[in-house]
Amino acid sequence: MSELPSLPVTFRPGLTRVILLTAGVAIFATISGVALLLEQLGPGEKLSFVVTGALIFWVLAQLARVKVVADESGVTVVNIAGKRRLEWAEIIQVNLRPGDPWVFLNLSDGTSLPALGIQPGIAKRRAIADATALRALAEAHASHDPEQHQG
């Protein structure tokens, strides 16, 4: 088995994040600039352009915030609409199958949690390496969990 990453470790789609935030800034600047250059628009109309640009930037920033943070006590999954903290013992399996848009965590309660912080879209090799590292961490921590070996 390869060496485990040192904890804490954060997994996130770096290139995707850069693209989303850069696009958000560019869209906001363009829409705001157009609003300021169009002299026939009133103040309320100009403001609506700026607010629309800010809203688009906010949506792209929400898409860019996804990550998976692993530490000694467990994993925090930050997705678009929320954040969930998991103990290592709750993670049964880390899956990234061919064609999956992101990693899925199979949990001890029988559910599956998408972990958008590891996604093979633009950087497939990086996502596979990150998924492999998270899987190795989950397996290592599960085998050291005293509750796992009881009864």
pLDDT tens column, 32-85: 999 999 999 999 999 999 999 999 999 999 999 999 999 999 999 999 989 999
- Evaluate if residue 145 carries a pLDDT over 50: no
Residue 3 pLDDT grade (very low, low, confident, very high; cuts 50, 70, 90): confident
Between strands 83-87 and 67-71, the pairing is unpaired
As given in the structure block, the two tokens for residue 88 are 């290592």
What residues form DSSP beta bridges with 78? 67, 83
Instruction: Judge residue 37's burial from the number of C-beta atoms within 10 Å of its C-beta, 0-12 exposed, 13-18 middle, 19 or more buried.
Output: exposed
Task: Compute the distance between CA of residue 38 and CA of residue 46 in angstroms, rounded to an integer.
Answer: 8
- Contact between residue 98 and residue 135 where contact means Cβ atoms under 8 Å apart: no
> Residue 146: pLDDT band by 50, 70, 90 thresholds?
very low
Nearest to 17 by CA among 53, 67, 54, 77: 67
CA dist 76 and 33 (Å) reads 39
Give residue 134's pLDDT.
Answer: 97
